[in-house]
Amino acid sequence: MPCVIAVPREMAESERRVAIVPETTQKLIKAGHEVRIEHNAGTGAFYPDDMFEAAGAKIVSSRTDLFRGAQIVLCVQPLTVADVDQLAEGTIVIGFMNPGRNKDAIIRMRDRKITAFALELVPRITRAQSMDALSSQATAGGYTATVMGAAHCPKFLPMLTTAAGTIRPATVLILGAGVAGLMAIATAKRLGAVVEAYDVRRAAGEQVRSLGAKFLELEINAEGQGGYARELTPEEKVKEQEMVSSAVARADIVITTASIPGRKAPVLITRDTVARMRPGAVIVDLAAESGGNCVLTQPGKTVQEHNVTILGPLNLPAQIGFHSSQMLSKNLHSFLGLLLDKDGMLVREYTDEILAASLLLHAGEVRHGPTRDLLGGGVP
């Protein structure tokens, strides 16, 4: 028998995304599944209930009715402990799990024998590209960061030749050229700015140049495991600070996206560097959530220091909720393609490389080593 798929309204503060959009809902219904959407689940992303209803979904008012008998729950942010208590043993939950910040819910899911797949654990292999929610949401974040930076900057970004004089183009500097950084570069180029970028991974240089931006070279290549960056040595950090400081000082907008998986974000912009910046310059610190790339960043706030506006936005993809939900919805639909066979039945074995890598909890066990270590101490 095909599945009952439930989509709750997101409860986290300022979360506006929804796990699936009407287009995906229609595909799932066409494949024979029942799709239940909690009342107002899509409102924040501008997918009202009637769009889901037109796609064939059942709109459900209470969370208890939503979860009753559901085999699959699709969510953006992790469920709460109270939600988990309403799920039957063996229910499959798919979404971002963020175990470091949601230990209680993860422990409760483990103990209630929920099967949880974490989107952030989907391996970044070619076959999994359509399921790579980290990338789709980083794309949304990178775009939004540039647009926010431009909105706070008291200058035009493009060069203008007008009867009222010639305007020089603004300089935008991107620190960290991963998925979000590359999207920020592309957006700033489209707005007509002169764009410079820096990353500790030398491989990023080619991608930066292919977008028409200048890559700032440092005699360091800190490419670590799996294509991610490793932490720099103390000597490398001093060299990096010197180069970054001069580049930051000549920029009108700086967008920082540097992060190292599982670690606090590296500090790239000190108070002294901010003091060297041009009056009216803007910093958009995309790493605000993991400590910030600028020491003066205040997570979730916009502050002014030394005539520089510093933005520390949290959960940027939620700000562009319509499209970030659309992309996430495609990611989840592709992922479901691995979990459901051609008859719409749930597969029993999670031997597929992508399913195995993203399986966080199953049958009362934590299947992901680092999460097991994280929960190790103090678990009842």
Ligand X SMILES: NC(=O)c1ccc[n+]([C@@H]2O[C@H](COP(=O)([O-])OP(=O)(O)OC[C@H]3O[C@@H](n4cnc5c(N)ncnc54)[C@H](O)[C@@H]3O)[C@@H](O)[C@H]2O)c1
3-state DSSP call for residue 52?
Answer: helix
Instruction: Report d(CA 57, CA 42) in Å as an integer.
Output: 12
**Contact between 199 and ligand X per CB under 6 A:** yes
**Closest-approach residue to ligand X (CB):** 178
Which member of 228, 230, 298, 372 is catalytic? 228
Count the site residues for ligand X by CB under 6 A: 29
Q: Which stretch binds ligand X (CB under 6 A): 13-21, 55-63, 95-103, 260-268?
A: 260-268
Task: Reply yes or no on whether 246 is catalytic.
Answer: no
Do 174 and 257 contact (CB within 8 A), yes or no?
A: yes
**Contact between 177 and ligand X per CB under 6 A:** yes
3-state DSSP call for residue 305?
Answer: strand
**Contact between 228 and ligand X per CB under 6 A:** yes
Structure tokens at 131: 């399921």
Backbone angles phi, psi at 105, to 5 degrees: -70, -35
**Contact between 176 and ligand X per CB under 6 A:** yes
**Contact between 260 and ligand X per CB under 6 A:** yes
185 or 200: CB nearest ligand X: 200
Question: With 0-12 CB in 10 A as exposed, 13-18 as middle and 19+ as buried, what is 300?
Answer: middle
Sheet holding 92-95, edge to edge: 58-60, 34-38, 4-7, 72-74, 92-95, 115-118, 359-362, 365-366
Q: Terminus-to-terminus CA distance in the chain, angstroms?
A: 37
Task: Indicate the pairing of strand 58-60 with strand 308-311.
Answer: unpaired
Neighbouring-strand partners of residue 172: 195, 253
63 or 201: CB nearest ligand X: 201
Question: With 0-12 CB in 10 A as exposed, 13-18 as middle and 19+ as buried, what is 375?
Answer: middle
Least distance CB 257 / ligand X (angstroms) = 5
* Member of 178, 292, 312, 313 binding ligand X (CB under 6 A): 178
> Pattern of binders to ligand X over 17-56, x per CB under 6 A?
----------------------------------------
Task: Reply yes or no on whether 298 is catalytic.
Answer: no
**Contact between 179 and ligand X per CB under 6 A:** yes
Task: Indicate the pairing of strand 34-38 with strand 58-60.
Answer: parallel
**Contact between 76 and ligand X per CB under 6 A:** no
**Interactions with ligand X, residue window 109-168 (CB under 6 A):** 124, 129, 132, 134-135, 138
157 or 185: CB nearest ligand X: 185
Residue 234 CB neighbours (<10 A):
6
* Member of 149, 266, 312, 321 binding ligand X (CB under 6 A): 266
Helices 321-339 and 22-30, axial angle in degrees (round to 10): 20
Instruction: Report d(CA 51, CA 245) in Å as an integer.
Output: 50
**Contact between 274 and ligand X per CB under 6 A:** no
**Interactions with ligand X, residue window 331-350 (CB under 6 A):** none
**Contact between 330 and ligand X per CB under 6 A:** no
Structure tokens at 219: 């005699």
Least distance CB 117 / ligand X (angstroms) = 18
Least distance CB 350 / ligand X (angstroms) = 21
Q: Which stretch binds ligand X (CB under 6 A): 18-26, 70-78, 144-152, 253-261?
A: 253-261
Which residues in this chain contact ligand X in the complex, by CB under 6 A? 124, 129, 132, 134-135, 138, 175-181, 198-201, 204, 227-229, 232, 257-261, 266, 268
Catalytic residues: 124, 129, 132, 135, 228
